Structure 1
């Protein structure tokens, strides 16, 4: 049976990806391994990155994936610096992991001896050779640059380090009809309300789950989003229909601390469970698109644009720093495209 395996980063966690041509026997064997999951985004089966799984799939032991003692010490200093600068814990993890992989590669070299040339060599001999993503490449450059500028107080000339061109990927958007089917698919009030609030307010998953009852200002018809991405507060309008749904939800479930709580009182609803709720809605609606919760946010922005909302307001509603980030929705809006007549019609 032909297969291969390698360690990957998936949703901020170290996993082992197993690649093989579709084979029922091998799929059944992998399913029996604890923690095995299928990734629809990466189109691969992946498992927990444990010593047992590394031995099972003949991957380099963990001991060889550690930086030198000096490297480990410097990574801890880097983490402390990031936290002192109030970086989010997710950013601390992303940057320190990127730096760790870089220092593993140069584990036999003193950190004081590492230069720009080493970063370029790492790019060519490791990242490009192993066909790793451009986003990972950018993470490495950013982490190395910040580490040497702050912890080591040495300037890396990052302008000389090749950065990949970012892929111009268009956001995935659902039609209003598809959104309606998804939002009406569940009979469970909590499930229906959570999905509806995400779409109607253009929220990120984490923003929805961090909401507390007092963040809903029914007198001003707004939702207050505190400490969102980039540590920014913002407000978004609350539709009267959603307010009525929220009132019915609140009377039924009487949440204590978070607006949407799981089975444990006072604990926020689980993000993975919410994604599963969306998948169930897609199945019930017979929608075959591999939609995620973020598709609802993209659809909100695109539908606003198509209804004539100014791009500057959409930028504020989504919490984007740059207008360029918001402008991507002009490429998926069909309002202008539908007015273009194909020359084929004149043949």
Structure 2
């Protein structure tokens, strides 16, 4: 049958994704497998990752990392931890290096060369159609590993690195933002989503806010040790402050501004994502909105209201002004002043 299958992770669970052109017979056939599920967002069927299913779809056994590879990976992780890299960065870099060392499990680590990195890029990353950002992460991780653990320098110019995709940030209109923020009936849910938009927060920044980070007298929010291990302050909306006061009286959080069911335990990322999903179901917005869209919208709306780009950079916590400048490409303020020649026909 004309299909392709590969291993994936769906909601943290190993699965087998099956790809094929739309065919009623194939759809009915895949449905005969126990646990077969259609992913509307990814546009593929996926099945339980079992030995029988792997054999049926001719998926080769997963390579196992050698003992030497395990030791090298652990050394790399310890170095990253000692340098105080964030947990997310450590996981990303460690996973990237693990996939590389697993690919070369048949060679000793000391035998791996610059040419092996090029071969890995072509035979693993490109053939599996991984994203350019993932490819760059892999190369960055391998480069850092060679430099710090192997004390060798890779000739990066010889390694194929893709041009970064120039993807514009997704932005919602103020009307759409209003629909989203007014949709939740639960006050905590409303307050969390409103905080992200009104302060331009990242998801992790919201969840790491403590009660002491809200300075009502000065009208600011202190965001501690965010991306790049930097502290910054952002203005606190009067409307948000009033909402938080009502929220505090009702929920009485102890340590974190937003806590889960157990007092003193911060709200989980998974639950926050679920809040947005439930909220979107109550609106008529069909766009694949993520929490980060609220941050993008905050920045774009500030720009459209006349806020200087340098201030927006500070408010968002960007290291480079080039990162912030991308919002000039999605702002409609200047576009609205341009008249299409079509209107004169």
TM-score greater than 0.5 by the shorter chain: yes
Is residue 5–residue 16 contact of structure 1 (8 Å, CA) maintained in 2? no
Is residue 51–residue 61 contact of structure 1 (8 Å, CA) maintained in 2? no
| Structure 2 equivalent of residue 172 of structure 1 | 170
- Once the two structures are overlaid, the 10-residue window that deviates more, 150-159 or 51-60, is 51-60
SS in 1 for 2:17: strand
Question: 1: CA distance between counterparts of 2:50 and 2:228?
Answer: 33
SS in 2 for 1:195: helix
| Structure 2 equivalent of residue 97 of structure 1 | 95
Question: 2: CA distance between counterparts of 1:186 and 1:14?
Answer: 29
**Aligned pair in 2 of structure 1 residues 45, 324: CA closer, same or farther (>3 Å)?**
farther
| Structure 1 equivalent of residue 5 of structure 2 | 5
- Deviation of 1:235 after TM superposition, in Å, equals 0.7
RMSD between aligned residues: 2.4
The number of aligned residues is 341
Question: 1: CA distance between counterparts of 2:330 and 2:33?
Answer: 39
Q: Does 1:290 align with 2:266?
A: no
- Deviation of 1:159 after TM superposition, in Å, equals 2.1
**Aligned pair in 2 of structure 1 residues 8, 186: CA closer, same or farther (>3 Å)?**
same
TM-score (norm 2): 0.91
| Structure 1 equivalent of residue 252 of structure 2 | 254
TM-score (norm 1): 0.90
- Deviation of 1:56 after TM superposition, in Å, equals 7.0
Question: 1: CA distance between counterparts of 2:224 and 2:157?
Answer: 36
- Deviation of 1:138 after TM superposition, in Å, equals 0.7
- Equivalent of 2:129 in 128, 131, 147: 131
Question: 1: CA distance between counterparts of 2:69 and 2:194?
Answer: 47
Question: 2: CA distance between counterparts of 1:200 and 1:330?
Answer: 19
Is residue 311–residue 326 contact of structure 1 (8 Å, CA) maintained in 2? yes
Q: Does 1:316 align with 2:314?
A: yes
What aligned pairs does 1:1-347 form with structure 2 within 5 A after superposition?
Answer: 3-8=3-8, 15-20=14-19, 32=35, 38=39, 40=41, 42-44=42-44, 54=54, 58-62=58-62, 65-347=63-345
SS in 2 for 1:236: strand
SS in 2 for 1:80: helix
Is residue 35–residue 47 contact of structure 2 (8 Å, CA) maintained in 1? no
- Deviation of 1:60 after TM superposition, in Å, equals 2.8
**Aligned pair in 2 of structure 1 residues 216, 43: CA closer, same or farther (>3 Å)?**
farther
Structure 1 gaps of 5+ residues are none
Question: 2: CA distance between counterparts of 1:39 and 1:146?
Answer: 38
Question: 2: CA distance between counterparts of 1:170 and 1:187?
Answer: 32
Is residue 15–residue 47 contact of structure 1 (8 Å, CA) maintained in 2? no
- Deviation of 1:330 after TM superposition, in Å, equals 0.4
